[in-house]
Chains A and B, each alone.
Chain A
Amino acid sequence: METEVKEAQGKIISAENPDIVAPADWQPVIMGILCNWCSYAGSDLTGTSRIQYPPNIRIIRVPCSSRVDPWFIIKSLQTTADGVLISGCHPGDCHYISGNYFARRRFLVTKKLLNFVGYHENRVQFSWVSAAEGPKFAKVVAKVTEDIKKLGPLHRYKKENF
Chain B
Amino acid sequence: MDHSKQIQDIASKLFAENKIDYFVGYRQNAIDDSQVPYLISDPAEIPRLVFTDRSVFNLANYLKPEHTRRKRVGLVVKGCDSRALNLMLTESQVKRENVYIIGICCEGVLNEKGEKAQNCIECVMPDAVVYDEMIGTPTGKREYIVNADIKELATIALEKRADYFEDIFSNCIRCNACRHSCPLCYCAKCCIDQETSTLYHGANTSSGAMHALMTWSLHLAGRCVDCRNCEKACPSHLPLHLLHKQNESVIYENFQQHLAGMEKDDRGAFYKYSLSDPDDFIL
Chain A residues proximal to chain B, CB less than 8 Å: 1, 3, 15-18, 69-71, 74-75, 78, 91, 98, 101-102, 104-120, 125-128, 140, 143-144, 156-160
**Contacts of A69 on B, CB cut-off 8 Å?**
191, 215
B161 on the A face (CB < 8 A): yes
User: Are B281's CB and A111's CB within 8 A?
Assistant: yes
Contact residues in A for B215 (Cβ distance below 8 Å): 69-71, 74
Shortest Cβ distance from residue A33 to the other chain B in the assembled complex, whole angstroms: 14
B158 touches A15 (CB 8 A): yes
Chain A contacts of B218 at CB under 8 A? 70-71, 106, 109-110, 113
Q: Given the complex, which residues of B lie within 8 Å of A18, measured CB to CB?
A: 159
Instruction: Decide if A143 touches B283 in the complex (CB within 8 Å).
Output: yes
B197 CB to nearest chain A CB (Å): 11
Complex CA gap A71/B221 in Å reads 14
13 additional A-B residue pairs with CB within 8 Å, beyond A1-B154, A108-B254, A113-B246? A3-B157, A16-B158, A16-B159, A69-B191, A71-B191, A74-B214, A75-B211, A104-B282, A105-B269, A105-B270, A110-B218, A118-B162, A157-B166
Which residues from B are CB-within-8-Å of A116?
150, 153-154, 161, 242-243, 246
Also in contact, A105 and B277, with CB within 8 A (given A78-B207, A157-B207)? yes
Cβ contacts A to B, 14 pairs, < 8 Å: A1-B158, A3-B158, A70-B214, A78-B210, A101-B277, A108-B254, A109-B247, A112-B250, A116-B150, A117-B165, A117-B214, A117-B243, A156-B166, A157-B210
Residues of A within 8 A of B251 (CB): 109
Q: How far is the CA of A15 from the CA of B158 in the complex (A)?
A: 8
* Interface residues, chain B, with chain A CB atoms under 8 Å away: 150, 153-154, 157-159, 161-166, 169, 191, 199-200, 205-208, 210-211, 214-215, 217-218, 221-222, 242-243, 246-247, 250-251, 254-255, 269-271, 273-275, 277-279, 281-283
Q: How far is B282's CA from A140's CA once the two chains are assembled, in angstroms? A: 11
Whole-angstrom distance from the CB of B123 to the nearest CB of chain A? 22
A108:B162 contact, CB within 8 angstroms = no
- Note all chain A residues with C-beta closer than 8 A to B150: 116
Residue from the set A1, A109, A119 with the largest chain B CB neighbour count within 10 Å:
A109
Q: Are B278 and A108 in contact (CB under 8 A)?
A: yes
Bound Cα distance from A107 to B254, whole angstroms: 12
Q: Is A98 within 8 A of B273, CB to CB?
A: yes
Residues of B within 8 A of A113 (CB): 214, 217-218, 221, 243, 246-247, 250
A101 pairs with B273, CB closer than 8 A? yes
8 Å CB contact of B210 from A1, A74, A126: A74
CB closest chain-A residue, reference B258 = A105
Q: How far is the CB of B260 from chain A (nearest CB, A)?
A: 13
Contacts of A125 in B (CB 8 A): 283
B164 to chain A minimum Cβ distance, whole angstroms, is 8
Q: Are B165 and A91 in contact (CB under 8 A)?
A: no
B251 nearest in chain A by CB position: A109
Q: Which residue of B lies closest to A71 (CB)?
A: B215
Whole-angstrom distance from the CB of A22 to the nearest CB of chain B? Answer: 16
Q: Do the beta carbons of A117 and B281 come within 8 Å of each other? A: no
Q: Please give me the residue from chain B that is nearest to A120 by CB atom.
A: B158
Contacts of A1 in B (CB 8 A): 154, 158
When A74-B210, A117-B165, A140-B283 are in contact, do A159 and B205 touch as well, CB less than 8 Å?
A: yes
